Amino acid sequence: MSAPLTIHYHRDFDGMVSGAVLAAILIDLFNDRVDWKSVNYDQRRDWANFGSGTRFAIVDFHFHPQAAYWFDHHPTTFLTPELRAAYQPSARWNWDETSPSCPPLILRHAREHWGYRAPERFQEMARWSDVIDAARYESVEQAIFGDTPALRIARALTVAPTPDWTDELVGAMTTGTLEDVANRQDVEKAHQRASRNRDKALEQFPPTVLKKEHDVVLYDASSSKIRRERFAPFYHHPDVVYSVGVIPTRSGYHITCGENPWNPPTRGLHVGELMEKYGGGGHKAVGGANPSSLEDARKIAAEIRDALVASLQEG
Ligand SMILES: [Mn+2]
C-alpha cells in the first residue's frame, strides 16, 4: 500500500473546501489514505524542496511539479517560468484561472476524469466558494452581515484560535454539510467574536475618511488601533465608485484600492496597472502596493485618488 497522501490547502474558505472535496473524492473513489494540512505563503521560500520525501497534493495554491494532485485557479500560481513550462493539464492536475474559486474546478475535473458525482453538500460548498472568493455578494449588507452557514464560517476564520484549527474544520467538511460545520460550538464562538470585531471596525471607519468627493473615498486607517473590515468604505459610502486607503501590515503599510462591487465604474481605470507604477499590482477592479514609509503611502494614496477622479471625469 502506498504512503498516505497529504493534501496541502490554502488557508481560506475556498482552499479549505478544496481540501475537503479532494480528500473525500480520493477516499471515495480510490480508497486512498489521506490527511490534510494548510499551506501558507512563507513556505514559498524553499518551494523546490516543499513536501520533499512525501506524497502530497496541493489545492488552491502554487503549482508544484512533485504534486500527485494539483488544482488551482490563481493567475499567479507559477512561481517561475520553468514551473509554468512544467505544467500540462493531466488526469491529476488542473489549472483554470477563469474559475472564480477552486472547488468548482475540482468537482468538474473529478466528473470528467474520474466519473465522480458530487453530493449536493459539495455543490453548495462550491457555490459559496465562488461568492466568497470572488466577492460576488448580492449586496454590501450580505458581505458584511450575511449569516448563511458559509458566511458564518468565513467570518469565523478571521479569528482562528490556532493555526491548525482549519485542519479540524476541513475534516468536518469532508463528512458534514456547511450547516453542520457552522453549528459547531467552536465555529459559533469564533463567529461571535469576529462579529464583534466587525462591528467595532464599522464604528471606527468614519473618522478615517480624509476626503469623499467625485465618487472616490480616500481614507487613512494606518493606525494599528483601527480594526479593518474590507467593505466598510462601501457600507458607509454606498454611492462611491472607488475607495483608496492606507492600512497597516505586519511589517509596514499597504495601499489598498478597489472598485465598489455594487456600484462599479462604467469605464474606469485598470486598478492593478495603476498600482504597478508604484511597485504594486492587482486586477482591474482591485489592487495594492506596499510603499516603504507611511509618508510615501499617504502621498501615493492621494495621487491614486487624484488619478481615479481624473479618469472618472474624462468619462
Ligand atoms: Mn483561496
Residue 11 Cα to ligand 1 midpoint, Å, equals 7
Question: With bands split at pLDDT 50, 70 and 90, how would you rate the model's confidence at 305?
Answer: very high
pLDDT over 70 for what percent of the chain?
Answer: 99
Cβ–Cβ < 8 Å for 222, 214? no
CATH of domain 5-188: 3.90.1640
Q: How far is the CA of 60 from the centre of ligand 1 (A)?
A: 5
Rounded distance from Cα 17 to ligand 1 centre (Å): 9
Q: Which residue in 51, 57, 54 sits closest to 71, CA to CA?
A: 57
Report the candidate in 205, 237, 232 with the shortest Cα–Cα distance to residue 221: 205
Q: Which residues contact 296 (CB under 8 A, 6 or more apart)?
A: none
Q: Which CATH architecture has domain 206-314?
A: Roll (3.10)
Residues of the chain with CATH 3.90.1640: 5-188
Percent of the chain surpassing pLDDT 90: 90
Report CA(73)–ligand 1 centroid distance (Å): 9
Q: According to CATH, where is 3.10.310.30 located in the chain?
A: 206-314
Stretch (H or E) spanning 159: none
Q: What is the pTM of this model?
A: 0.91
CA of 74 from ligand 1 middle (Å) equals: 8
Cα(41) to centroid(ligand 1), Å: 12
3-state class percentages of the chain: helix first, strand second, coil last, to nearest 5: 45, 15, 35
pLDDT band with cut points at 50, 70 and 90 for residue 187: very high
Q: Is the pLDDT of residue 259 over 80?
A: yes
Contact between residue 6 and residue 167 where contact means Cβ atoms under 8 Å apart: no
Report d(CA 100, CA 154) in Å as an integer: 16
pLDDT at 315 over 80: no
- Quick one: pLDDT at residue 271? 94
Q: Taking 90 as the threshold, does the pLDDT of residue 250 lie above it?
A: no
Stretch 76-80: mean pLDDT: 91
